[in-house]
A = this chain, B = another copy of it.
C-alpha cells in the first residue's frame, strides 16, 4: 500500500509498446512493485477480514484499468466474494471468461526459511541455489528474469491475477482490444475447496454468461514450456484418526501392553498401497473412464522430464513401477498429506500416544466421485478390523471395539475434462503455440472445481499453466521466477487476441 502513489505515477507514464513483450520490458519495475503489494495481503480463505482486503485491493487494481469491477457476493454476504471485471467488445461473436484465484494455501510460518509468508521478498536465484535477497527498489535495466519473488501465492495463484491484469495493460498500451467479450473472474476460496462456488455461479449466472472459460493456474511443464490442460483431477480429503488409550501413557509402565495408535495407523496406512505405490484398496481404479486414443497419443507426446526432475528433487526412486509422471497423473491417487501422533524431536516424550492422525488426499479422475472414493476407503478400513465413526467415538465405544477409527471427509469434487477437438481447446492451443512449444495435457495433476462450470453454466473450460514447476506451491518458500511471470503475461495477451 505504501508504494501506491509512486506506482500510479509509473503506470501513468508507461510508454506505448509495440508488443506485450516490449510492454513488459518497459514496465517490469512498476509491475514488481504492484505485485509485491498484492502478495503482502494475507490470503488464507478462512481469514475473512484479510480475504476481503484482497478482494477490495484487486477491485481497485481493475478500476485503474477501466475494467468496471464488481464484487459478486454470496447470498449472506459472508463468503469470500468473486472479483469480477469486464472489457466488452462491440460486435464480438463470442464471450470468454479468464479465471484465476486470489486465495492461497494455509501457511505454517515457522517452516518458511526465506521470508515470512506475507512479507514478499525478491531473491537473485532459487533460495537453495545461492539466491540472495534484493531490494524491490531496482531500476528498469537491473531486472534479471531469473530473479524470484518469494511469498504465499507468488505462483498459486496471485500470479494468475497479476498476469491477467498486466496483459490488459499490455493490450491497451498497444492500442489493441480482445478478440471477444472478455470477462475476468477471480475466486477467493479455491484452496479451501470452493465450498460456495456453485451457489455463486448460480446467483450470478447472467453476469457470468459466456461460451467458455480459460483458467490461469498451475505450473509449466518441468521441461519449461507452458502447459495447456484440458482437464483437472477432482479431489477429496479425508482425515483418519485411530485411537489408543484414553490418555497418553508412560511408555515404560504400559509398553507394550496398551495398543499404540501410531503403530496402528502405520499398519493401516501400509495396508493401502503395494510396494510400487499402486493403491490396494478394493475397486480403487474400477470406475475410471478410459482415455481415448487421441488422449493417449497426446500423453505420449508430452516431453519426459522425469530424470531431470529426480535429480532436482534428490529422488532415488519413484512410484508407479516405472510408469512416467504424465501417465500416473491420469490415475486416481491416494496421498498422505500429513501424519501426526504426539511429538518428535525436542518435544518428544516417552509416551504411548492417545491418538494418531493422517490427513489423506484422494485425487480423482473422470468416472470417480468423491463419495464413492471415500466409501471405498472406509470399507477398506473396516476390512482391517476397525469400527469406523464420523466423529470422535465415546469412551464406551472405544472400549467396545478392538480397533476404532474416525474418518472425516471434506465434501470434495469430481474431475472435469474438455474434448481435445473442442474449438476452445484448438484456439487456445494455436494462440499459445505462436510463442513456442506447449505441452498439451488431457488432464493435469492438480485439482480445481471445474466440473461446476459445466454443471452450473453449461460451458467448457481449458487451463493454462505458466509458472515455474519448482515454485513450492502449497508448501513453505513458495516463489515465482520472473521470466515465467513475464512470459505468462505475453501468453495471456495472445489468448486475449486469438481469433
Contact = CB atoms under 8 A, between A and B. Distances in A.
B357 A345 contact: yes
Nearest to A401: B316
Contacts of A401: 316
A319 B249 CA distance: 14
Interface string A435-456: 0000000001111000000000
B343 A340 contact: yes
A477 B444 CA distance: 48
A474 interface: yes
Interface string A244-267: 111111111111111110110111
Interface string A41-81: 00000000000000000000000000000000000000000
B337 A339 contact: no
A263 B336 contact: yes
A286 to B, nearest CB: 17
Nearest to A348: B359
Given A255-B335, A311-B399, A403-B316, A250 B342 contact: no
A363 B275 CA distance: 31
A444 to B, nearest CB: 7
A239 B344 contact: yes
A45 to B, nearest CB: 12
Contacts of A263: 269-270, 273, 277, 336
B318 A259 contact: yes
A310 B357 CA distance: 22
A218 interface: yes
Contacts of A446: 250, 252-253
A253 to B, nearest CB: 4
A325 interface: yes
Contacts of A396: 314
Given A263-B336, A475-B351, A320 B252 contact: no
Contacts of A344: 239, 337-340, 357-359
Which of A257, A269, A341, A401 counts the most chain B CB atoms within 10 A?
A257
Contacts of A329: 252-253, 255, 257
A399 B314 contact: yes
A359 B343 contact: yes
Interface in A473-498: 473-477
Contacts of A335: 251, 255-256, 260, 350, 352
A350 B400 CA distance: 34
Contacts of A403: 316-317
A358 B336 CA distance: 15
Interface in A345-403: 345-353, 356-359, 361, 363, 395-396, 398-403
A277 B358 CA distance: 21
A265 B263 CA distance: 10
Given A349-B337, A359-B344, A315 B245 contact: yes
Contacts of A105: 349-350
Contacts of A267: 266, 269-270, 275
A268 B252 CA distance: 23
A453 to B, nearest CB: 18
Contacts of A358: 262, 344
Nearest to A470: B247
A403 B257 CA distance: 32
27 contacts: A105-B349, A235-B350, A245-B314, A248-B472, A249-B475, A250-B445, A251-B474, A252-B446, A255-B333, A259-B277, A259-B319, A260-B336, A263-B277, A266-B267, A266-B270, A266-B336, A270-B270, A310-B399, A335-B350, A335-B352, A337-B343, A338-B343, A339-B339, A339-B356, A344-B358, A345-B359, A350-B474
Given A246-B313, A255-B329, 7 more contacts: A245-B314, A256-B320, A257-B319, A257-B329, A259-B315, A266-B266, A316-B400
User: What are the nearest 7 A-B pairs in CB distance?
Assistant: A252-B446, A248-B475, A338-B342, A266-B269, A317-B402, A262-B336, A253-B445
